[in-house]
Structure 1
Amino acid sequence: MRVTKHEHAALVVVESGHTLVIDPGSFTSPLEDLVGLVGIVITHEHPDHWTPDHLTRLQRAHPETPIYGPEGVVKAAAGFDVTTVAPGDSLDLGPFHLEFFGGQHAVIHESIPVVDNVGVLVNDALYYPGDSYTVPKRTHVRLLAAPVGAPWLKIGDAMDFVLAVKPDRVFATHDMTLSVAGKQMGASRLTWAVEQNGGSFVDLPPGETTDV
């Protein structure tokens, strides 16, 4: 299974000629030349994780591709046919087995409503929590996509998240709000955290891939 990180929070996962897209948002360049798109997962309704333009473009190139997200996404993306997924749900899309965790977005501030959010585990190997620190229970994560920069995020909490998940490898995501220096600092902190349990950090700039 090959994972490509795109700008900010978008991931493209490829297995056996089929493709899964996760969180194509407002900071992400158009995702083109995808092969065998079998599904789109949106972890929550915030625009840095999905846009109507991305969904329209993807569905034009790949008609009838199903879209999945929590109830908040179903309401926010009312012009699209979005299937509701919730924590505890699982489904199969081609070669991909998906399991969903969590339930709520991390708190930004008491003045800002907390929205629905799901983390997604792909093929018992790749875990992406959306905008949360939800730890997938009773599973060993081989590759963790760890948020590293956000209005709701403190780097110490991100480090604790990596320590709790204990993945084999981790890479930084949700990073478009950071400067170059901020990304470097975040990478060094996540590196320390993953190494505490014998894992390693993967430097994955936008457009770069890694296998899992």
Structure 2
Amino acid sequence: MKIRHLVHSCLLVEVAGRRLLIDPGAFSAEAVRALGEELLAGIDAVLVTHQHPDHLERGLLAEVLALAPDAQVLAEPETAALLEEPADGHAPVPAERLHAFAAGQSHELPALDGIAAVRIDAVGGQHAVIHPDIPRVGNSGLVISAGTEPRLGITGDSLEPLAEFHGIDVLAFAVVAPWSKMAETIDFLREVKPVLALPVHDAIASDVGRPIFLRQSTHLAPEGTEVRDWPADGTIEIAGS
């Protein structure tokens, strides 16, 4: 499995011969476009955890779908409903390419050339509380698995210690957010105890402030959990079992 961090919460995951683009939001537009048309043309699915613009920028999504004619969109149900309608000059996502992906549902990309099928499970269901006066939106966390490849969890905007994340091989977690405090992040990691934890949702932190959150998450992580920062090229490869 290869995971590339494309700024903030956007990830490109390559697993079992498939390419998955996750949460292509406004902060990530430049990095996604820099992948190039040839790579983007091979995207098999775009996964969207929730509707907030730092996780979904409709213009960027339209660009990706135009380059990747076979890509399907799996989006949290409230988000899918928004994508069914035109907005801000953007056309709806065609119905045949759009799937409302609610917690408890699964989607499978069939095996290619004898390689394992890729299974995607939606988990959780609600965004973390930002403030009681701000209505909560839906949030579909993700678990991605394929044969003997590592299992990858993606929290979206939530620190709910879901059973599906407990002991998972790799977990992309929100290292800093307006809706969380450092103690909650550390307690979340201590409860779910992933083998490898990768920090995302970090574009809102300054270059000098981000290391504070990463340092505490690393030093106070539970035994058996490695919190690993992204290398200079933003790409991490993890061997299967």
TM range (shorter): over 0.9
Distance 1:15 1:35, change over 3 A: farther
Match of 1:145 among 168, 172, 185: 172
1:62 is aligned to 2:55: no
1:48 aligns with 2:82: no
Alignment of 1:90-129 (within 5 A): 90-94=106-110, 95-123=117-145, 125-129=151-155
Match of 1:208 in 2: 234
Q: Alpha-carbon deviation of 1:206?
A: 7.3
**TM-score under structure 1 normalisation?**
0.92
CA distance in 2, matches of 1:71, 1:185: 35
Q: Which of 164, 167, 170 is 2:191 aligned to?
A: 164
> Aligned residue for 2:15?
15
TM-superposed CA distance for 1:193, in Å, is 3.4
Determine if the alignment matches structure 1 residue 85 to structure 2 residue 107.
no
DSSP-derived class of the 1:3 partner: strand
Identity %: 30
Secondary structure (helix, strand or coil) at the match of 1:87 reads coil
User: Distance between the aligned counterparts of 2:68 and 2:20, measured in 1?
Assistant: 12
Q: How many residues align?
A: 211
Residue among 213, 224, 230 paired with 1:198: 224
TM-superposition CA deviations, 1:40-70 (whole Å, max 9, x none): 1100010110111121111111114110112
Query: Which segments of structure 1 move beyond 3 Å, counting only runs of 4 or more?
Result: none
User: Structure 2: where are the runs of 5+ without partners?
Assistant: 85-91, 111-116
> Residue 181 of structure 1 corresponds to which residue in structure 2?
208
1:35 CA drift (Å): 5.9
Q: 1:18 to 1:36 in 2, by over 3 A?
A: farther
The structure with more radius of gyration: 2
For the structure 1 residues 193 and 91, does the alpha-carbon distance in structure 2 shift closer, same or farther, using more than 3 Å as the test? Answer: farther
TM-score between the two structures when normalised by the length of structure 2: 0.82
Q: Which runs of 5+ in 1 are unaligned?
A: none
Larger deviation: 153-162 or 201-210? 201-210
| Offset at residue 205 of structure 1 (A) | 5.4
SS across alignment from 2:217? helix
Does structure 2 retain, via aligned residues, the 8 Å contact 1:128–1:146? Answer: yes
Matched residue of 2:209: which SS?
Answer: helix
Provide closer, same or farther for how the CA distance between residues 171 and 96 of structure 1 changes in structure 2, counting only shifts above 3 A.
Answer: same
